[in-house]
Amino acid sequence: MTFGSNRFAEEFSRAQQVGIERSLNYAQTFLAGAERLWGVQLGFAKTVAADNVEAIKAFSQTKDVQGALALQRGLVEPLIEKATAAWRESTGIAQATQQALSELVEQQVKKSGDEVLSGFDAFADQAPAGAEGIKVLRNGVAASLDAYGTTVAAARKQSEEWVATVVQNVTKAAPAANGRRKAA
């Protein structure tokens, strides 16, 4: 970045515009995920409300306690299945939103890192002979950026494995819980 008044003002303005665009991208990604989550929750709430209306009608028509208990047992399994499906969908949406936000951050870090490295290269080209410290500093920054990339990739893999395990466990647990309820 040069400090000539027009060039500096142009670069500063461009940097502000890029920052605003990045902020808007983050906000849009977050809001899209939140909207999808809200849709799942609202859909689940509507389904449960409609099921409750039907259950109340059915309960009002039962003649004895045994009929009411049988009806209650019949209502639990579909509710568990719907709750599990809504949870699974919500988890998928949250994971996709988090991944999209992470990708935006990674792109930002990579672009900023590339700009810093190119700045070091430009400075090194203009530096006086014997200014090896610039190259050492540049190599240190490059190594840090590589380490960041490796760490992010490992964290992403670990996160994906963890979420897959949790979803698998919940999927297995729902029918087991329903089976225990039927046995009782």
DSSP characters over 74-137:
HHHHHHHHHHHHHHHHHHHHHHHHHHHHHHHHHHHHHHHHHHHHHHHHHHHHHSPTT-HHHHHH
pLDDT at 127 over 80: no
Q: What is the pLDDT of residue 40?
A: 94
Neighbours of 82 (CB within 10 A): 15
Whole-number Cα distances in Å, 147 to 110, 140, 144, 151, 154: 12, 10, 5, 6, 11
Write out pLDDT tens, residues 87-98: 989 988 998 998
Write out pLDDT tens, residues 17-39: 888 888 898 999 999 999 999 99
- What is the rounded average pLDDT of the residues 142-156? 86
The whole-model pTM stands at 0.66
Write out pLDDT tens, residues 45-69: 999 999 999 988 888 888 888 888 8
